[in-house]
Structure 1
Amino acid sequence: MLTLDTFLATLLYAVVGILIFIVTFILVDRLTPGELWKEIIERQNTAVAILAGAGAIGICTIIAAAVHG
């Protein structure tokens, strides 16, 4: 049965995971040469978009494994 404590803990882990993902993705964006979003949005560079998506999936997998324990 879902209790309030369990719900709040799940919500907290989700928020912390999303915040860690955002900070990590910004860090990766800053460390890559060039402007990642400019390449994806303005220049429609599919290869950079696929690379960014793969990086995001990798980051999320690591965060999920860390949160899951």
Structure 2
Amino acid sequence: MGMEWLKTGAFFGSIMFALMGVVIFLLAFVIIDKLTPYNLWEEIVEKQNRALALVVAAMSLGICIIVAAAIHG
């Protein structure tokens, strides 16, 4: 294993893919938040809805896995 990850192209490519993944995740989360009949952030933070927090966490992991597979593949 060499120092290939230090090359400029590989480094900036990794940064671009990471930023692209975060942006896609945020867009997907905002879309899902708009599709639900209530405000997810208010329900989780202010009303302490732990069941909804668990569902949103699972949804977030699912979206992240899909985005990572799409970028990697």
Q: CA deviation at 1:39?
A: 0.6
Q: Which has the higher contact order (CA 8 A, sep 6+)?
A: 1
CA–CA distance in structure 1, aligned partners of residues 27 and 8 of structure 2: 28
Fraction of identical pairs, as percent: 43
Q: Does 1:38 align with 2:42?
A: yes
CA–CA distance in structure 2, aligned partners of residues 20 and 63 of structure 1: 7
Matches within 5 A, 1:25-64: 25-64=29-68
Superposed CA deviations along residues 10-57 of structure 1, whole A, max 9, x for unmatched, are 000000000000011010011011111111011100001001101100
Large movers: runs of 4+ above 4 Å: none
Root-mean-square deviation (CA, aligned residues, Å) is: 0.7
Larger radius of gyration: 2
Structure 2, unaligned runs of 5 or more: none
Q: Normalized against structure 1, the TM-score is what? A: 0.96
